[in-house]
């Protein structure tokens, strides 16, 4: 292995989340002031972000209270950082790792500065979203490059699409097979977080990436029946079909067991713990499925580190010591 590859620095970038009730409103303000979410006039966008945050803060606080009062995004990413450091140390690579978030703290400039202080080594940005989209990946990258320029740093590599790894496809397929009890009666419902149709119309490849994941996992599942839906819509002009509508069609076709696989998340959050486990469950209760279950994401399943390590090793084009 070339000595230039024996030291690497990695910045793990996530959307983030509020760490306390007081952080909910500013967190929402930062999301809706993002030009990658709401393009156009910055003054109008600022006013709109204040209005949305004001109207949504109380309900959002309640939802976070239901899952413990705060987001687990930062602690989960910090745990991943430790796992990656150990993984590469055993393979002869000295890895320094820091966590940064787009809409909470530590933010991307803070995380980048902390990483640069640790060692002088090539910096790789890992975007902790399974599927690349301008709404998240593009936004994070733009902030990162701006921060790097101000700090006189270079970003050597970008890992933008974790769903393209074999570990992602095989991990999901293994978790699904383990959860299915009666294959002939089961529909596996893949879900991905919805986005505004306007983002897709601007040329975003998110749907293409999601469908690529579904096709790859389907090949590994064999004859299991599957379908795809989009969850957590915030308005009428968001991509679908909705999960509850696909579930209703499945029930009409005679499926009595529904296994939900939320493909667009690396870890549990309000979109899995509440939007699926609570809201979707209540929505489809009248359909009288014999069994409804949801598979936990890669972090909880234990294959997130494997996904990221595979993507990093491919990006660096190195042959780590065994």
96 inside domain: no
248 inside domain: yes
- Please compute, for residue 119, the number of CA atoms within 13 A of its CA located in the half-sphere on the CB side: 14
**CA 273, 277, 283: angle at the middle one, nearest 5?**
135
pLDDT tens readout for residues 154-164:
999 999 999 99
The separation between CA 242 and the C-alpha centre of its own chain, rounded to angstroms, equals 19
Kindly calculate the radius of gyration of the chain based on its CA atoms and give it in whole angstroms: 20
190 inside domain: yes
31 inside domain: yes
The predicted pLDDT at position 1 comes to: 39
Predicted confidence band of residue 319 (pLDDT cuts 50, 70, 90): low
CATH number at residue 252: 3.40.50.1400
The predicted pLDDT at position 2 comes to: 44
- Summarize the confidence of residues 181-207 as an average pLDDT: 96
184 inside domain: yes
Closest CA to 166 of 5, 22, 308: 308
Query: Is 10 or 38 the better-scoring residue by pLDDT?
Result: 10
Distance from C-alpha of 165 to C-alpha of 152, rounded to nearest angstrom: 32
Joined tokens for residue 255: 């499926």
State which residues form the domain around 35. Answer: 21-66
The predicted pLDDT at position 236 comes to: 87
4 inside domain: no
**pLDDT above 70 covers what percent of the chain?**
97
Coil, helix or strand at residue 35: coil
Joined tokens for residue 247: 């579930």
Joined tokens for residue 46: 């600022």
Contacts of 15 (CB under 8 A, 6+ apart): 73, 101, 102, 103, 129, 136
267 inside domain: yes
Last residue of some domain: 29, 45, 66? 66
Burial 218-254 (b: 16+ CB within 10 A, else e): beebeebbbbbbbbbbeeeebbeebbeebbeebbeee
Last residue of some domain: 42, 66, 90? 66
pLDDT tens readout for residues 289-310:
999 999 999 999 999 999 999 9
The predicted pLDDT at position 234 comes to: 87
The predicted pLDDT at position 317 comes to: 84
User: What mean pLDDT value characterizes the chain?
Assistant: 95
Joined tokens for residue 68: 């413990």
- Please compute, for residue 37, the number of CA atoms within 13 A of its CA located in the half-sphere on the CB side: 19
Last residue of some domain: 46, 66, 86? 66
Predicted confidence band of residue 76 (pLDDT cuts 50, 70, 90): very high
pLDDT tens readout for residues 126-143:
999 999 999 999 999 999
- Summarize the confidence of residues 182-187 as an average pLDDT: 98
The predicted pLDDT at position 322 comes to: 46
- Summarize the confidence of residues 272-295 as an average pLDDT: 97
Residue 150 burial by Cβ neighbours in a 10 Å radius (0-12, 13-18, 19+): exposed
218 inside domain: yes
Number of structural domains found in the chain: 2
Distance from C-alpha of 110 to C-alpha of 59, rounded to nearest angstrom: 29
pLDDT tens readout for residues 89-119:
999 999 999 999 999 999 999 999 999 999 9
């Amino acid at each position: 292995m070339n000595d230039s590859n024996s030291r690497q620095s990695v910045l793990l970038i996530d959307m983030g989340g509020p760490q306390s009730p007081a952080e909910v409103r500013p967190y929402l303000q930062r999301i809706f002031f993002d030009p990658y979410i709401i393009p156009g006039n910055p003054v109008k966008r600022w006013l709109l972000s204040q209005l949305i945050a004001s109207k949504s803060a109380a309900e959002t606080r309640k939802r976070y209270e239901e899952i413990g009062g705060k987001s687990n995004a930062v602690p989960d990413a910090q745990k991943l950082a430790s796992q990656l450091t150990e993984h590469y140390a055993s393979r002869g690579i000295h890895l320094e790792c820091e966590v940064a978030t787009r809409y909470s703290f530590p933010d991307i400039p803070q995380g980048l500065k902390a990483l640069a202080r640790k060692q002088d080594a090539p910096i790789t940005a890992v975007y902790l979203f399974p599927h690349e989209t301008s709404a998240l990946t593009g936004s994070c990258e733009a902030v990162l490059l701006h921060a790097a320029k101000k700090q006189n740093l270079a970003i050597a590599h970008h890992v933008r699409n974790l769903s393209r790894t074999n570990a992602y496809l095989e991990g999901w397929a293994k978790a699904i097979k383990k959860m299915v009890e009666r294959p002939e009666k089961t529909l596996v419902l893949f879900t991905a977080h919805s986005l505004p149709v306007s983002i897709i119309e601007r040329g975003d490849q998110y749907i293409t990436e999601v469908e690529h994941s579904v096709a790859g996992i389907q090949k590994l599942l064999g004859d299991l029946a599957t379908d795809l839906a989009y969850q957590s819509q915030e308005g009428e002009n968001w991509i679908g079909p909705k999960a509850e509508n696909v579930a209703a069609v499945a029930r009409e076709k005679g499926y009595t067991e529904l296994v939900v696989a939320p493909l667009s998340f690396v870890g549990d959050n309000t979109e899995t713990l509440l939007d699926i486990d609570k809201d979707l469950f209540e929505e489809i209760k009248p359909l009288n499925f014999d069994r409804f279950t949801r598979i936990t994401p890669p972090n909880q399943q234990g294959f997130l580190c494997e996904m990221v390590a595979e993507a990093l090793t491919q990006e660096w084009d190195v042959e780590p010591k065994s």
